[in-house]
Amino acid sequence: MFAVHLLAFHFTKLKEDQIKKVDRYLYHMRLSDDVLLDVMARFQAEMVKGLGKDTNPTATVKMLPSFVRSLPDGTEKGEFLAVDLGGSQFRAHQVKVFDDGKQSSQLESKFYPSPKEVIQGNGAELFDYIADCLVDFMETKNLKHKKLPLGFTFSFPCKQTKLDKGVLLSWTKHFKVRGVQDTDVVSSLRKALQKHKDIDLDVLALVNDTVGTMMTCGYDDPRCEVGVIIGTGTNACYMEEMRHIDLVEGDEGRMCINTEWGAFGDDGALDDLRTEFDRELDLGSLNPGKQLFEKMISGLYLGELVRLILLKMTKEGLLFNGKVSTALLTKGKIEMKHVSAMENRYKEGLSNTKEILTELNLFPSEEDCIAVQHVCTIVSFRSANLCAAALAAILTRLRENKKLLRMRTTVGIDGGLYKTHPQYAKRLHKVVRRLVPNCDVRFLLSVSGSGKGAAMVTAVAYRLAAQRNKIDAALAPFLLSLETLREVKNKMRTELEYGLKRETQASATVKMLPTYVCGTPDGTEKGKFLALDLGGTNFRVLLVKIRSGRRRSVQMYNKIFAIPLEIMQGTGEELFDHIVQCIADFLDYMGIKGARLPLGFTFSFPCRQASIDKGTLVGWTKGFKATDCEGEDVVDMLREAIRRRNEFDLDIVAVVNDTVGTMMTCGYEDPNCEIGLIAGTGSNVCYMEDMKNIEIVEGNEGKMCINTEWGGFGDNGCIDNIRTKYDKEVDEGSLNPGKQRYEKMTSGMYLGEIVRQILIDLTKQGLLFRGQISESLRKRGIFETKFLSQIESDRLALLQVRRILQQLGLDSTCDDSIIVKEVCGAVSKRAAQLCGAGLAAIVEKKREDRGVEHLQITVGVDGTLYKLHPHFSRVLQETVKELAPQCDVTFMLSEDGSGKGAALITAVAKRLHNVGQK
């Protein structure tokens, strides 16, 4: 027993001595965590350099866009072919993807040799060989009669400009085919395939094997957004935010970036870590000075590194009694499979080591075997460490892109070194988790990543193309041509004329209501005025002080009161009693209950006026539905309510539309302002019309402001050709079906609802939210127009769009967010264009009425849609310019048209009244 212990002690001591000897000898290959964190930081800097347009040309890590924009979502289906060139063998695959709810697929493959004369010959021979192998495969599988999409896995650095176009930058590994570098490899493959008239293949996607690995794993695990290969060569890819990829147009969504990390350090960035053995190996390689990181990591080189180390140690008398064999002097004699076998655990590893060394005509002692085994460990461990550092950099970038403190993600991984080496995977996982403790990483082994992956990329491309067609079809009716917009402008012009003429006014959809506002401010207005503003869910009371002369100014004091839904949709008496209650509170608040002040009442609903202080409600809009009001004079109803309260008295001078108030506010600043536009909850326009054109009002002298109430445009069916099924659904579900059709296509109250209807339709078609219509999406009004403005903001990343959708109870993917943003854009752009077409009709009419070739005019504008939406104002202005090129239109933002404007109208009416009395 003692003898056994003694023997064990002797062996352990022997082992320790040999390990220490090798550790000292290969000190520079043993990397601490501090060194690895430094490598990680260097790699992060190289990634940023590779993504930048200006810095990419000098970057070693090329960060090549793959044009793969989407991961599998489980709905892919169909039959695909894939070919895989890049490893030690060439492979052809047939992949069937089933949409059976189980995300199942079937793979059948055939392996073909990669003869040296082909992989180091000329380009035409290489692609003819690939085509011949494919034809053979299709014959074997009885597929020649089918037209099939093909994915091409090409595991070399390519600069892609499209999914199916890639120019080879350089050969790597043991490939060196003449005449292929700097040419499009897909085009070469297509040419070779065209020689075979008996097959019909459509090359849809060029895929790097690393991207294929990510896509294969992404099919099984939706969290997978990184792919890594550690085999003959090494590389990594990951999903990057488009906004960071300067090399590709567009900021929306994500794209898979093929890092080509094998070239990291080609600029000398890793020289402090490279040993004399790395330099010697590089000098003897096919591509000296290139792929230096790969040469420290990948299976093609690790065996050779071990050979060079053993050779030098032997020459120095540290191994094999200093006796060098011919085999040890021969390049390539130690391969990765030997390193893996020698690193097997315990006695099996040592036994393998002895056997391998003996085959190399070396006669190892026990000490030699222990030392050689440890050399292999240090070389392969360094490989895993360096790989982990670069992968940790990618994971950190992903986490920072998502603005997460902690991230769960999956890394799809493939490659012979990772799969067959007994310790490699465990070492890599351990180091990655140590370097990025705030990332919970799952490592998922890819099954036939490079082949199945190419088919998955092709399947996703196929799915996206089909989805794209369906989305385009849904949004096509929202894309209005210039010709269509001209038609809308001309129809609006016709309706404007109908509304002004006595015989057609009654049946006109654009009511062209006279406001009896006959002038704009001239700067002499002064005094204290009250203004009321009713037009939405809030009601305001204002005190406005106007000063004239050199110290001309307008001071305002106001208070906002809510109007509950039960009042909005109760009785007329309740509504006006509530308004008077609010006025009483304000007068008390300001301490002016005793003063009989002139009052302007902004009433933002269609009214037929018989004078400036008489307004009969034509019909409620914007969600109001109080009874016993339509057909009644709202000024009389307000006076009656004041009388019922019997607390104060007011001089109601003018009933005002908010659009007129907007024009007057801007007219106070700019005398050229003769048009008012509201683009907010509702949509409307007013303008100064020549009295001689207003047949429904007596008199031909001067001008009067006409409140067009253009929201009703189209109620006679004249724009039915541009109304979509979604517009009809919104109209049918509204409080006033068949009314205000133009407003329902252009105003803030309805745009969100149109978007919701489209999203429901796209979800039903399986194009959004995984085909699941959530409870929140079923709720009418959930998608407020303010969300359109937020989602369409250029400053908003898709991550923030996803957060907005999550607030609405919509669990969206990145792809969903892009589609939602596109839908919002289509709906709001059409609204702005339709608004612009209507406005162009009015400015053109003004120009013709004045009889001038060029018109200079200002439009006063108000409304949240115009003010807050990131693109609405620009699109509207561009449309007006396009449709009315002879009009130079200035757009001026109104400052409180409904409050200040009402007071100014009251002041102008008082001024004109006083002039009339004199």
- List active site positions: 540, 604, 658
Cβ-in-10-Å burial (0-12, 13-18, 19+) of 102 comes to exposed
CA-CA distances (angstroms) from residue 19 to 5, 334, 713?
A: 21, 21, 89
Q: How far is CA 511 from the centre of its chain?
A: 42
Distances from the Cα of 635 to the Cα of 32, 607, 652, 913, angstroms: 85, 11, 8, 19
Taking a C-beta distance cutoff of 8 angstroms, is the pair 528, 537 a contact? no
CB 473 within 8 A of CB 828: no
Q: Can you tell me which residue has the tokens 């039959």?
A: 79
SS3 assignment, position 94: strand
Count of beta carbons in the 10 Å neighbourhood of residue 91: 21
DSSP 3-state of 184: strand
- Residue 633 DSSP class: B
Of the candidates 442, 449, 378, 526, the residue with the CA atom closest to the CA atom of residue 235: 449
User: Token match 């892109």: residue?
Assistant: 401
Cα distance between residue 863 and residue 662, in whole Å? 10
* Contact by Cβ (8 Å): 138, 44: no
Q: Is 240 helix (H, G, I), strand (E, B) or coil?
A: strand
State both tokens at 280: 């010697």
Q: Which residue, chain included where needed, has tokens 């490279």?
A: 274
What whole-number distance in Å separates Cα of residue 673 and Cα of residue 134? 73
- Rounded CA-CA distance 156/148 in Å is 24
| CA–CA dist 214, 831 (Å, integer) | 42
The answer to whether 152 touches 186, Cβ cutoff 8 Å, is yes
Would you say 720 and 593 are in contact if contact means Cβ atoms under 8 Å apart?
no
Nearest Cα to Cα of residue 253 among 237, 274, 239, 273: 239
**Token pair in block for residue 687:** 């303008």
Q: How far apart are CA 255 and CA 457, in angstroms?
A: 12
**Rg of the chain on CA atoms, in Å:** 39
Distance, in Å, from the CA atom of 44 to the CA atom of 38, rounded to the nearest integer, reads 10
Q: If we measure between CA atoms, which residue out of 7, 68, 352, 355 comes closest to residue 210?
A: 68
Give me 861's structure tokens.
């504008």
- What is the sign, positive or negative, of the torsion defined by CA atoms of 526, 530, 535, 538? positive
Please provide the size of the chain in residues.
918
Measured at the alpha carbon of residue 391, what is the angle toward residues 389 and 396, in degrees to the nearest 5?
A: 95
Residue 401: its H or E element: helix 366-401
